[in-house]
A and B are shown apart, each in its own frame.
Chain A
């Protein structure tokens, strides 16, 4: 596992809020957030 300090802008990356189906521009995420990207489901 590699731990790195990076600078990756999130503006322009738009995902779908699962519960509502609304688009969410990640660039609007304010403050410190813990982001976890999961793998596949079964």
Chain B
């Protein structure tokens, strides 16, 4: 996502519910250049209606197959340390107001990064369209 927005003039704001030090590490690891924010209380998640997925959606056959393939190819799988059911999401904001929201139904249901970045660039070019 960051790479797709580089040079477009659209800042990327990354929010996670991990503690600040963990989010800072994630920001460094991913080379994020915009704001990286910790939302341990999940206030923004709640305001946007991004809830927790049912367990059968989190551990769908596709998800289990993904991790099985990863294991078979020698990947090191780590135990999650946080709520695996909390869904993420993507949004466009303008002047302190979220105007457009992509809310997934399951963890693997995120808007494609290229689609989201293109929408962000279009909105920046014509903010009134938001």
* Range, interface on chain B: 35 or more
Residues of B contacting A: mostly: mixed
Q: Would you call A19 and B27 a contact (CB within 8 A)?
A: yes
Whether, in the assembled complex, B105 has its beta carbon less than 8 Å from a beta carbon of chain A, the answer is yes
What mask results when residues 1 to 24 of chain A are scored 1 for a CB within 8 Å of chain B, else 0? 111111111110111111101001
- Please give, as numbers and ranges, the residues of chain A lying within 8 Å of B11 by CB-CB distance: 31, 33-34
**Measured between alpha carbons, how far is A22 from B89 in the docked complex, in Å?**
24
Q: Would you call B20 and A18 a contact (CB within 8 A)?
A: yes
- Please give, as numbers and ranges, the residues of chain A lying within 8 Å of B120 by CB-CB distance: 32, 34
| Residues of B bordering A, CB below 8 Å | 1, 5, 10-18, 20-24, 26-27, 34-40, 43-45, 47-48, 50, 78-84, 86-105, 107, 109-111, 116-117, 120, 123-124, 127, 130
| Residues of A bordering B, CB below 8 Å | 1-11, 13-19, 21, 24, 26-42
